[in-house]
Amino acid sequence: MNKVIITGRAHTLLTDILQKNGFEVLDMPEISYEQLAEEITDAAGLVVTTRIPVNKQLLDKASRLKWIGRLGSGMELIDQPYAESRGIQCISSPEGNRNAVAEHTLGLLLSLLNHLPRAQAEVRAGHWRRVENTGTELSGKTVGIIGYGNTGSCFARLLEPFQVTVLAYDKFKSGFARTYIKEANQEQIARYADIISFHVPLTEATTGMADQDFFRSLKRKPLILNTSRGKVIALTALIEALENKQISGAGLDVLPNEKLSTYTENEKAELDKLLARQDVIITPHIAGYSQEADYKMAAVLLEKLGFSIS
């Protein structure tokens, strides 16, 4: 019997459909790299999230592997060129959770503009401060979107009712401008945007793209949002930008290192600095997680693999 290993949290639809098609499914969301190296030797399929690197060493043990399915977006943990050279099909399902990520990004933005975490904390502490928590309306602002793929374009669509101007940059796409969405370069976004949101994959080119030079180029002290990958933003540079008032705040769903138990003293000090600020919101990489997205990611992956879900 063909075996499929699921290495992360997945909707039951995935297991159900695979089993109906004759696969033995090992649903192992807590499996370690070492355990996977033992199990993968006779596996025909592998389903991954963001936990385990699928590198050459692992792939060399997978003599029967036919396909790798990524729940969500981002293939940076998969050695895709090597896998494909071995005839292993690599598939992702960003269409499944793009709306969840876009809604979370909008939630971070509105929370920052209206000081919601701070106001809630103050009420809990017995303070009723209205003037001090006066918000800023999103309507009429200019929003820069860096990366106009599945999530970036979905975020732009959610912004339409707010009557904003969207300046969108994508290294690999053009011809997508319409009404309130304008194609722009990074220099134009740095000059005109009141809000800048990152929606790029993690590659050599995007690692640390928001560095000191990036923050120094900003003209309007924008809010910074990142629901893509933590290493896209150089955290030290972000903290300096906040302290130097080059930006007005930050909403982060991702960090360069998300294993808090492994933090060095410097990493802990930087995180503590961010958490102490009232103009920063950090959530634990949950933007792509919703009840609906769990189902849709599984459904998209199955359909791309050629399985019927009806």
The catalytic site residues sit at 229, 258, 285
List of residues 6+ apart from 32 with CB closer than 8 A: 52
Output the six-digit token pair for 217. 């180029």
| Phi and psi based region of residue 194 (left: phi greater than 0; alpha: psi -120 to 50; beta: remaining) | alpha
CA distance 45 to 27: 12
CA distance 258 to 277: 19
Long-range interactions of 59-62: CB distance < 8 A, separation 24+: 59/83, 59/86, 59/88, 61/37, 62/88
Q: If we measure between CA atoms, which residue out of 185, 33, 159 comes closest to residue 5?
A: 33
List of residues 6+ apart from 195 with CB closer than 8 A: 109, 138, 141, 142, 143, 144, 222, 223, 225
Q: What is the largest CA-CA distance in the chain?
A: 66
